[in-house]
Amino acid sequence: MFQIEFDSQEAAVGIDLGTTNSLVAYMNLAKPEVIPGEDGDKLVPSVVSLATDGRVIVGNAARQELIDHPDRSIYSVKRLMGRGIEDVRDELKLFPFRIAEGSESVIRVVLGEKTFTPPEVSALILRQLKKNAEAVLGTPVTKAVITVPAYFNDAQRQATRDAGRIAGLDVLRLVNEPTAAALAYGLDKRQEGVIAVYDLGGGTFDISILKLHDGIFEVLATNGDTHLGGDDIDNRLLRIALEDILSEWGDDLSHSGEAVQTLRREVVRAKEQLSFVPSVLLAFEWNGKAYHREITRELFEGLIQDIVDRTLGPCRDCMKDAGVTAEQIDEVVMVGGSTRIPLVRSAVEVLFRARPHTEINPDEVVALGAAVQAGILSGTVEDQLLLDVTPLSLGIEMYGGVVSKIIHRNSTIPASAGETFTTGIDGQTNVLIHVVQGERELAKDNRSLARFDLKGIDPMPAGFARIEVRFLIDANGILQVTARDARTGREQSVEVKPSYGLTDEQVEAMIEASIDHAEADFNAAQVASARVEAENILNATDKARRNPAWQQLSEEERASVTTAVNRLMVAVNSDDHEVIQNHIAALNDATHALAELMMNTAVSSALKGTHV
Q: Is 16 noted as a catalytic residue in this protein?
A: yes
Q: Does 203 bind ligand ADP (CB under 6 A)?
A: yes
Which amino acid belongs to residue 576?
Answer: D
Among the listed ranges 121-129, 229-237, 293-301, 394-402, the one in contact with ligand ADP (CB under 6 A) is 229-237
230 binds, options Mg ion, ligand ADP, none, Cβ within 5 to 8 A by partner type:
ligand ADP
Q: Is 166 left (phi over 0), alpha (psi -120 to 50) or beta?
A: alpha
* Minimum distance from residue 333 beta carbon to Mg ion (Å): 13
Task: Write out the binding residues for ligand ADP, residues 353-392 only, by CB under 6 A.
Answer: 363
Q: 340 is in the binding site of which of Mg ion, ligand ADP, none (Cβ under 5 to 8 A by kind)?
A: ligand ADP
Q: Where are the beta strands (DSSP E) in 181-288?
A: 192-200, 205-213, 216-225, 279-286
Nearest partner of 473 among 537, 408, 528, 535, judged by Cα: 408
Q: With contact defined as beta carbons under 8 Å apart, do 149 and 200 qualify? A: no
Report which of 212, 214, 216, 223 is spatially closest to residue 328, judged by C-alpha positions.
Answer: 212
Strand 205-213 versus strand 394-397 pairing type? unpaired
Give the integer Cα–Cα distance in Å for 126 and 18. 11
| CA of residue 612 relative to chain centroid, distance | 66
Residue of 19, 122, 541, 560 that binds ligand ADP (CB under 6 A): 19
HEC readout, 453-493: EECCCCCCCCCCCCEEEEEEECCCCCEEEEEEECCCCCEEE
Q: What are phi and psi of 402, to 5 degrees?
A: -85, 145
| 202 binding partner (options ligand ADP, Mg ion, none; Cβ < 5 to 8 Å by kind) | ligand ADP
Task: Tell me the closest approach of the beta carbon of residue 264 to ligand ADP, in angstroms.
Answer: 10
Tally of CA atoms within 13 A in the half-sphere of 114 that contains its CB: 17
Q: Pick the catalytic residue: 78, 130, 143, 211? A: 78
Find how far residue 348's CA is from the centre of its chain. 30
Cβ closest to ligand ADP, residue 314 vs residue 336: 336
**Contact between 20 and ligand ADP (CB under 6 A)?**
yes
Nearer to ligand ADP, 178 or 203 (CB): 203
User: Does the active-site annotation cover 199?
Assistant: yes
Number of residues located near ligand ADP, criterion CB under 6 A: 21
Least separation in angstroms between residue 495's CB and ligand ADP is 45
Q: Are 25 and 32 a contacting pair, CB within 8 Å?
A: yes
Residues numbered 233-292 forming contacts with ligand ADP, rule: CB under 6 A: 268, 271-272, 275
DSSP strand pairing (279-286 vs 216-225): unpaired
CB of 336 to Mg ion, least distance (A): 5
Minimum CB distance to ligand ADP, residue 342 (Å): 9
Residue 36 per-residue DSSP state? P
CB 337, min distance to Mg ion, A: 8
Q: Which is nearer to Mg ion, 200 or 253 (CB)?
A: 200
Nearer to ligand ADP, 231 or 445 (CB): 231
* 338 lies in the site for ligand ADP, by CB under 6 A: yes
- Burial classification of residue 533, based on how many CB atoms lie within 10 Å of its CB (0-12 exposed, 13-18 middle, 19 or more buried): middle
Tell me whether residue 59 or residue 203 sits nearer to ligand ADP (CB atom).
Answer: 203
Q: Choose the contact partner of 577 out of Mg ion, ligand ADP, none; CB within 5 to 8 A by kind.
A: none
Supply the minimum distance, in Å, between the C-beta of residue 199 and ligand ADP: 7
Partner that binds at residue 275, options Mg ion, ligand ADP, none, CB closer than 5 to 8 Å by kind: ligand ADP
Regarding 119 and contact with ligand ADP (CB under 6 A), the answer is no
> Which residues in this chain contact Mg ion in the complex, by CB under 5 A?
18, 201
Contact (Cβ atoms closer than 8 angstroms) between residue 118 and residue 109: yes
Q: Which residues are catalytic?
A: 16, 78, 177, 199
Q: Which residues bind ligand ADP (CB under 6 A)?
A: 18-21, 201-204, 229-231, 268, 271-272, 275, 336-338, 340-341, 363
